[in-house]
Amino acid sequence: MDIITKIYIDDENSSSRSPSDVQSSAYLFRGALFGDGFFTTAVVRNSRIINKERHLSRLEVSSKRLKFSQWSSKEIASSMDKIAIKYPDSILRISCSRKQKERGYAFSANATIECEIAVQKLKEFPYETCHLKMAETPISVNKMLAGIKHLNRLDNVMASSECEAPNQEVLMCDDERVICGSRSNLFVKLDGEWMTPIISDCGINGVAQGLVIEKMDELGISCKHKDIVKTDLKKMTASFVTNSIVGIWPAESFINLECDIYLKLDLDCVLQLKSQLELVL
């Protein structure tokens, strides 16, 4: 890995006398420095932002909980719409953070909100099913931040590095509690009933997760929020994970080498459910 060094100096006269690798900047970008911010990732198909209102709601809720004053969902929505027209089949990552002149952890009353929208070409996901295993990296626990897709995602970064193949997902835990996948929300079928872990002091409230639960309820398919522990996974018969890019990703197997468990899961059950829900994700 190459290391690129950039130097920023808070000196308005520095650019006239500094080498080319030194840039003048009076602002500190707190998203990169402290993870001070939040984001969401949305799919655009035929210039339509899938689940646009849910993504905007996630951003607005995050802005309130993280005390981003002067937030404007209208401005963000307008920017998203313009990009969706220009890039009709794409993936948008909307990242929002604070920038300010004052240094230190505390955010200033004078901080401004900076939102970046990264655009990537939409490619159809090539893996119809996934294989689950336990992650060694535990999930970070913080009740105040639970549910928010904030920018400090180092636990997900390290857990994702444990995936040994692109069609594998690792499950992150807090001690014995199973919370989520490294890039997804988890659903399991136990004793004939669908369940998804409670998000109370860690984890993310997923956009796709919320939509799936809502549609299941409309169809009269029970899905409970429940604390799921590692031993429960010995008894699961089917499972799938969700996120806004993949949608519903059926799990074909689960392995836990610590407990010498290998389960072949009911794939047809999940494919049938996926067909019933008829979700556009």
**Cα separation, 204 vs 189, whole angstroms:** 20
Rg (CA), the chain: 21
Question: pLDDT 10s per residue in the chain (281 long)?
Answer: 678 777 767 665 555 555 555 554 667 889 999 999 999 999 999 999 999 999 999 999 999 999 999 899 999 999 999 999 999 999 999 999 999 999 999 999 889 999 999 999 999 889 999 999 999 999 999 999 999 999 999 999 999 999 999 999 999 999 999 999 999 999 999 999 999 999 999 999 999 999 999 999 999 999 999 999 999 999 999 999 999 999 999 999 999 867 667 899 999 999 999 999 877 66
What pLDDT is recorded for position 21? 53
Q: Domains of the chain by range and CATH?
A: 26-121 (3.30.470.10), 130-277 (3.20.10.10)
Q: Which among 268, 267, 269, 279 has a CA at the least distance from the CA of 242? A: 279
Residue 279's Cβ-side half-sphere holds a number of Cα atoms within 13 Å equal to 28
What's the whole-model pTM score?
0.91
Question: Which pair of structure tokens corresponds to residue 17?
Answer: 């006398």
Go through 51-76 and write b for each residue having 16 or more CB atoms within 10 A of its CB, e for each that does not. beebbbebbeebbeebebeebeeeeb
What pLDDT is recorded for position 3? 84
Cβ neighbors of 246 (< 8 A, separation 6 or more) are 125, 184, 281
Residue 168's Cβ-side half-sphere holds a number of Cα atoms within 13 Å equal to 13
**Cα separation, 180 vs 241, whole angstroms:** 8
> Does residue 204 contact residue 151 with C-beta atoms inside 8 Å?
no
